[in-house]
Amino acid sequence: MSEEALEGFRAAVLADTGLQRRLRGLGRDEFLRQAVAAAAELGHDLSVEEVEAALRGARSEWLERWI
Amino acid sequence: MDLVDLAGWTPARVRVEAGAPEVEWVYTGGERFTDPFFEQTIERVLRDPFSLLFRQRTPIETLSDAALIPGLEPRGFVFHVSRCGSTLVAQMLASCRRFLVLSEPSPVDAVLRAPVVRSTRVAWLRRLLSVLGRPPEREGALFVKFDSWSVLHLDLVAEAFPATPWIFLYRDPLEVLVSLLRHSGVHGVPGALPPELFGLAPAELPDLSREEYVARVLERICEAALAHADDPRGLFVDYRRLPGFVLDRLPRHLGLELAEAELQRMSEVARLDAKNPALRFEPRSATAVPPEVARVARQLAPLYERLEAAAC
């Protein structure tokens, strides 16, 4: 996975409330589709599998930081 | 951090152990905190892939900026000895849509126990609750149910919020002991919280039985509350007075006027299991008490008498 692409995308989303609204409240599959499309529009090359991996990583990190 | 960027975001965690203190924000939007515990609502929100993937961390100083949009001033605090109906009280209050009830929010615990000077903790607590108290919709009063050990910081909480009334819920120590030994909370596991919090040196832990450790924790919690027994803002309430207390005396103590429909909803909630509202509440049947539990409980009997004497 391109950490650089993911971090660039994350930063872009957090800076853009319109983009945030586009990605909120979606089911997992639709979120993956929208995230990949939005990333591409911003010039970040991310695949569905990479976003899925990022979600798994985010879940693990949340749990680990709790322990 | 632009304040607009944080509209709808909740400070879900505060980390102060290592390096620069930071806040972890989770987008919660208009989600109401109606689950038995703060953390459960955060977990529910994190099922949204957006909230999970796009959490953000900021220096704790961001709370100062965010608090420029002030939230509700706390209307009441709930302290407790644990296993004494505090979640029931929180759930009954949360059944009123105009109330925002934060039940054992971990960021508050982190701030209270942060290894920084007291004045900093007081300031952080005020800002944190101001941000947590920003009502998503219609909620007109903020209540906080603290972790049981937070009463050890009651003086700090009172300094931060000198006008906020509070209650301390307690129960026969034998029943609390039995419950904690059956299903332990974090404070019932030796070493899970810093032993110094309960006046213990780490070296003392191996010499204490589990029963003695839990009894020591309960003793410190109750003593901390009793140190404030003369505070006119405080009220000591025995578990046996629930749920009726929440319907009559508590509203007066907190200066609340409840509509008939709200009282009705509260009564309905009182019939449910507070920690699992999908189930009806069923009192546990009495079980045989092991001799060691009975022994340490007897040592706590004088403390229980003092709590009873302080009670309303």
The Cα–Cα gap between B220 and B178 comes to 17
- Residue B167 has a pLDDT of 98
Burial of B99 (0-12, 13-18, 19+ CB in 10 A): buried
B149 contacts B187 by C-beta, under 8 angstroms: yes
Distance (Å) from the C-alpha of residue A42 to the closest C-alpha of chain B?
Answer: 16
pLDDT digits (tens, 9 = 90+) for B63-112: 887 767 788 889 999 999 999 999 999 999 999 999 999 999 999 999 99
pLDDT digits (tens, 9 = 90+) for B135-174: 666 568 999 999 999 999 999 999 999 999 999 999 999 9
Q: Tell me, yes or no, if the pTM score tops 0.95.
A: no
- Residue B16 has a pLDDT of 85
Letter for the amino acid at B282? E
pLDDT digits (tens, 9 = 90+) for A12-48: 999 999 999 999 999 999 999 999 999 999 999 999 9
Query: In this structure, what are the phi and psi dihedrals at residue B236, rounded to the nearest 5 degrees?
Result: -100, 130
pLDDT at A67 over 60: no
Mean pLDDT value of segment B22-29:
95
Q: pLDDT higher for B183 or B308?
A: B308
The Cα–Cα gap between B72 and B263 comes to 22
Residues of A in contact with B6 (CB under 8 A): none
Q: Which of B1, B53, B193 to mutate to test the interface with A (most CBs of A within 10 A)?
A: B53
Considering only CB atoms, B54 lies closest to which of A14, A32, A59, namely: A14
pLDDT at B3 over 80: no
Residues of A in contact with B4 (CB under 8 A): 17
- Residue B246 has a pLDDT of 95
Percent of chain B exceeding pLDDT 70 equals 94
pLDDT digits (tens, 9 = 90+) for B234-281: 999 999 999 999 999 999 999 999 999 999 999 999 988 877 887 777
Q: B52 vs A17: CB contact, 8 Å cut-off?
A: no
Strands B74-80 and B56-59: unpaired
B111 contacts B121 by C-beta, under 8 angstroms: yes
- Residue B10 has a pLDDT of 95
Task: Write out residues 4-63 of A within 8 Å (CB-CB) of B.
Answer: 10, 13-15, 17, 20, 23-26, 28, 31-32, 35, 51, 54-55, 58-59, 62
Q: Of the ranges B18-22, B116-120, B208-212, which one carries the lowest mean pLDDT score?
A: B18-22
CB pairs under 8 A between A and B: 48
Mean pLDDT value of segment A37-64:
94
Average pLDDT, chain B: 91
Distance (Å) from the C-alpha of residue B46 to the closest C-alpha of chain A?
Answer: 9
Q: A26 vs B50: CB contact, 8 Å cut-off?
A: yes
Considering only CB atoms, B48 lies closest to which of A25, A62, A66, namely: A25
Q: A20 vs B24: CB contact, 8 Å cut-off?
A: no
Task: Write out residues 19-38 of B within 8 Å (CB-CB) of A.
Answer: 24, 27, 29
Q: B24 vs A65: CB contact, 8 Å cut-off?
A: yes
pLDDT at B4 over 60: no
- Residue B286 has a pLDDT of 62
The Cα–Cα gap between B122 and B130 comes to 12
pLDDT digits (tens, 9 = 90+) for B7-24: 899 999 999 876 689 999
